[in-house]
Amino acid sequence: MGVFADLFATSKPEENVVDVAASLAPFYVNNNALNVAGGAIAVPRLNALSVPAVARANGIITSTIGSLPIEKFNDASGERIPIERSFKQPDPRVPASLIYSYLAQDLWLYGVAYGQVMEMYAASDGGRVRRWTRIDPQWVTVKTNPLGTEIIGYSVSGYETPMSGVGSIIQFFNLADSGILNRAGRTIRAAIELEKAAELYAREPLPTMVLKSTGTNLPSERIKSLLESWRTSRTNRATAFLNADVELQALGFDPKQLQLSEARQYIALELARQCGIPAYFLSAESTSMTYSNATSERRSLIDFSLRPILTAIESRLSMDDFTPAGTHVRFDLDDFLRGNPLERAQIYQILTGIGAMTVEEVRKAEDLLG
């Protein structure tokens, strides 16, 4: 199983005998993709991504997280240490950026993401995960105990998987978030209906028109000919002429009367709130951005939108089955959050003045060596 259902050939996993009682895991109802508590309405993924504001938010979140380098650190000293290939390229068939982008998307859309172990290190080398890949949440079925409080098994595309070792499932939990497809279902559906309305008025830009005969009833062939002639004439010219026995009536409202543009802008702003992304990033509000406050907006994007997803991935990959005790992994945000050249020069001046950095370290940070 991999990132794409049809990218690689798949085969039925081998039968495994698992001591389920020794490998129980907690089950969080709020992360269940089928949870509709509180009146939420689930929306299919492709339908949601057909909404421009959702597609834009998805692109920002997934591409940003996928582009961030992942690093490993010592808990005590904070020193960077060499990172294993299980983080740099989890699945040898695809780039790591693709894996992390899809994990971010799954956490954001569904509130949960899954990986599957492909290879383990030998017990003498720690017995940790060596290779793994992302699994589409729609392929995964969770089996719980009768009370629904503990996970006792997983199935992928109908095939039961072991609870540990090769073939086992790696679960990533978003931080108390059931996913935007569930949480913002009503708002997304409203946006979809507005997109349909916009498409309708793009095809038929005028209100529904009725040609009414004020004289005798016309045969069907004559009516069809009259309508075809009307449509052809309206294609060629805007001015129309009607005989005394034909009357034009308009039904419904035009886009201006419906305030279609204003409604779509309002929904885009609501979706920005649901996505946790500043409206500026989705063009949902008109603001004048300068370079300095654009940098501040990046920090806001990290703190209020990306941080829960980053933390969900980092904390899961820092668990014992991935990293040894005393170490942890996290995404490197330095390049993403670095200020403009003037700001960086001022910071370097302060740090070199107090002896916290050397000129050589400054040149290295700015890629000026060599």
What are the boundaries of each domain within the chain? 1-205+257-339, 208-251, 340-370
Cα–Cα dist 143/151, whole Å: 6
Residue type, 158: G
- Token reading at 194: 């507005």
Q: Which of these, 119, 183, 114, lies nearest to 151 by C-alpha position?
A: 114
Largest CA distance in the chain: 98
- Token reading at 81: 């240490």
pLDDT at 27: 55
Cα–Cα dist 146/212, whole Å: 66
- Token reading at 205: 């830009």
pLDDT at 251: 53
Q: Which of these, 123, 130, 119, lies nearest to 167 by C-alpha position?
A: 119
Cβ contact 33:132 at 8 Å = no
Cβ contact 244:256 at 8 Å = no
- Token reading at 47: 């339908």
**What is the rounded (10 degree) CA torsion for 8, 12, 14, 17?**
120
pLDDT at 349: 82
Q: Which residues contact 349 (CB under 8 A, 6 or more apart)?
A: none
Cβ contact 8:93 at 8 Å = yes
Question: pLDDT of the chain along its 370 residues, tens only?
Answer: 455 544 443 444 444 433 333 344 555 444 444 433 334 457 888 888 888 888 899 999 999 999 999 999 998 888 888 888 889 899 999 999 999 999 999 999 998 999 999 999 888 888 899 999 999 998 999 888 888 788 888 999 889 999 888 999 999 988 777 888 888 888 888 888 887 777 666 665 555 677 777 777 778 887 788 778 877 776 676 667 777 677 776 655 455 545 566 777 778 888 888 887 877 777 766 555 554 555 677 787 888 788 889 999 999 999 989 998 899 999 988 777 766 677 677 777 888 888 888 888 878 777 776 5
pLDDT at 11: 43
3-state secondary structure of 288: coil
pTM of the model: 0.70
The alpha helices in 36-113, defined as continuous H runs, are 45-49, 52-67, 85-88, 96-110
Q: Which of these, 181, 173, 196, lies nearest to 274 by C-alpha position?
A: 181
pLDDT at 135: 93
pLDDT at 293: 58
What secondary structure letter does DSSP report for 348?
Answer: H
Burial of 109 (C-beta count, 10 Å sphere; 0-12/13-18/19+):
buried
117-120: list long-range contacts, CB under 8 Å, 24+ apart.
Answer: 117/165, 117/166, 117/167, 117/168, 117/170, 118/91, 118/166, 119/166, 120/165, 120/166
- Token reading at 96: 């790591």
pLDDT at 34: 40
Cα 181 to Cα 34, 41, 185: the distances in Å are 10, 8, 5
Cβ contact 153:160 at 8 Å = yes
Cα–Cα dist 276/176, whole Å: 14
- Token reading at 255: 């886009």
Cα–Cα dist 91/103, whole Å: 13
